[in-house]
């Protein structure tokens, strides 16, 4: 909830052909406050329309400045996610963007998957499969995206298609950056722990971490998805700690959730690629390299850009939707069958 990233990608929805320009635009402090106030709310509730307009206008401004794309994959801002009741809400109207950009916009990527019995997340795994092919990987690998929530994709690059049996297994792991960010914002009015500065200074509360690891869903394989609200109890538990110790403890919870999955899983990846905003946190990267036995690399070490992988992923998925190719499968979200997600909006033709 700190801003918008856009990234151009040339693709047919199956292969990655070329990476294009990237750009970012931060939300203002007032906008961030409005978005946080709307978190957990559904359309029609107070503050949701205002949050959606911020998301739309920020995307529109950035795309009007920089967008060379023929089509736009627009994810929007997740405000509420309830897989048990097959509901999810990403703020932002793709039709509004299509009208104002004059371009095809693919959006609302998660709802159809959930209607087909899926968790609606994670959706980046099909892109991770294409990335493994693009990078020339031949042995089993894993992509770990440390965003607001951390998710993992186990990829077998020997398979021909992402929907093939055993090609992809993916699920959410646990908290990523969002708890750390929220804690820093609450306590010091900071957007995040830059480069893990405070995490390096603090001392983790191991008792609290052990209790966290007893969470019934942690360490289990998917399909499963999390919402950040699933872990808000941690913010209450670190309340009594010194600030630096609180940051370190929350950061270690993110790290231990990752290591627990990799230690317990039946999949044994040769390479693990770290991506997402968490790779900018030196503490997280250093600790994972310290405690895990497999080869750990950041996306940058493979010549990729962690910050823009998610944006690239939704451009890639947009191309798949236009070609009527699945964007999720039973192995990635738990849907009943491979599902084409996404809604396509075209600019309305003007009368002459």
Count how many Cα atoms sit within 13 Å of the Cα of residue 215 in the half-sphere of its side chain.
23
Burial annotation 182-199 (CB, 10 A radius, 16+ → b, else e)? bbbbeeeeebbbeebebb
What is the CATH number that goes with domain 3-120+311-345? 3.30.420.40
pLDDT of residue 268: 86
The residues, any chain, with a CB within 8 Å of residue 17's CB and separated by 6 or more, are 10, 11
Q: Which of 97, 2, 9 is nearest to 311 (CA)?
A: 9
Whether domain 125-303 has CATH 3.30.420.40: yes
pLDDT of residue 352: 43
Write the CA distances from 162 to 135, 223, 255, integer angstroms. 16, 16, 28
| pLDDT tens over the chain, length 352 residues | 789 999 999 999 999 999 999 999 999 989 999 998 998 999 999 999 999 999 999 999 999 987 667 899 999 999 999 988 999 999 999 999 999 999 999 999 999 999 999 999 999 999 999 999 999 999 999 999 999 999 999 999 999 999 999 999 999 999 999 999 999 989 998 989 999 999 999 999 999 999 999 886 776 777 888 888 889 999 999 999 999 999 999 999 999 999 999 988 888 899 999 999 999 999 999 999 999 988 999 999 999 999 999 999 999 999 999 999 999 999 999 999 999 999 999 998 654 4
Q: Could you tell me where the beta strands, DSSP code E, fall in 200-334?
A: 271-275, 295-298
The C-alpha atoms of residue 18 and residue 55 are separated, in whole angstroms, by 27
Q: Do domains 3-120+311-345 and 125-303 have the same CATH topology?
A: yes
pLDDT of residue 68: 67
Whole-model pTM? 0.92
Contact 229, 182 (CB under 8 A): no
Q: Show me where the domains of the chain are located.
A: 3-120+311-345, 125-303
pLDDT of residue 6: 95
What letter does residue 90 receive in the DSSP assignment? E
Give the pairing of strands 295-298 and 271-275: parallel
pLDDT of residue 38: 95
């Amino acid at each position: 909830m700190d801003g918008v990233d856009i990234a151009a990608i040339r693709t047919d929805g199956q292969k990655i052909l070329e990476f294009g320009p990237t750009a970012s635009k931060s939300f203002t402090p007032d906008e961030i406050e409005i978005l946080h106030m709307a978190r957990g709310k559904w359309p029609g509730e107070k503050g949701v329309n205002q949050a959606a307009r911020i998301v739309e206008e920020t995307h529109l401004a950035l795309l009007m400045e920089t967008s060379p794309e023929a089509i736009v994959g627009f994810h929007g801002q997740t405000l509420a996610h309830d897989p048990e009741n097959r509901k999810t809400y990403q703020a932002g109207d793709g039709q509004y963007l299509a009208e104002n950009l004059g371009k095809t916009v693919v959006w609302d990527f998660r709802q159809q998957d959930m209607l087909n019995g899926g968790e609606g997340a994670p959706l980046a795994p099909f892109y991770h499969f294409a990335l493994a092919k693009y990078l020339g990987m031949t042995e089993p690998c894993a992509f770990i995206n440390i965003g607001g929530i951390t998710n993992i994709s186990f990829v077998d690059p020997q398979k021909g298609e992402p929907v093939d049996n055993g090609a992809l297994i993916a699920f959410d792991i646990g908290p990523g950056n969002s708890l750390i960010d929220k804690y820093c914002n609450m306590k010091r009015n900071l957007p995040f722990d830059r480069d893990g500065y405070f995490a390096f200074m603090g001392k983790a509360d191991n008792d609290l971490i052990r209790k966290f690891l007893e969470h019934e869903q942690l360490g289990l394989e998917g399909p499963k998805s999390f919402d950040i609200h699933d872990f808000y109890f941690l913010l209450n538990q670190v309340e009594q700690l010194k600030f630096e110790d609180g940051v370190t403890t929350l950061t270690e919870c993110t790290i231990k959730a990752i290591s627990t999955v990799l230690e317990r899983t039946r999949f044994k990846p040769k390479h693990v690629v770290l991506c997402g905003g968490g790779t900018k946190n030196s503490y997280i990267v250093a600790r994972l390299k310290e405690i895990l036995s497999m080869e750990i690399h950041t996306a940058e070490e493979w010549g990729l850009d962690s910050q823009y992988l998610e944006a690239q992923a939704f451009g890639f998925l947009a191309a798949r939707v236009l070609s009527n190719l699945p964007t999720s499968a039973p192995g990635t979200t738990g849907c009943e069958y491979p599902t084409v997600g996404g809604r396509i909006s075209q600019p309305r033709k003007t009368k002459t």
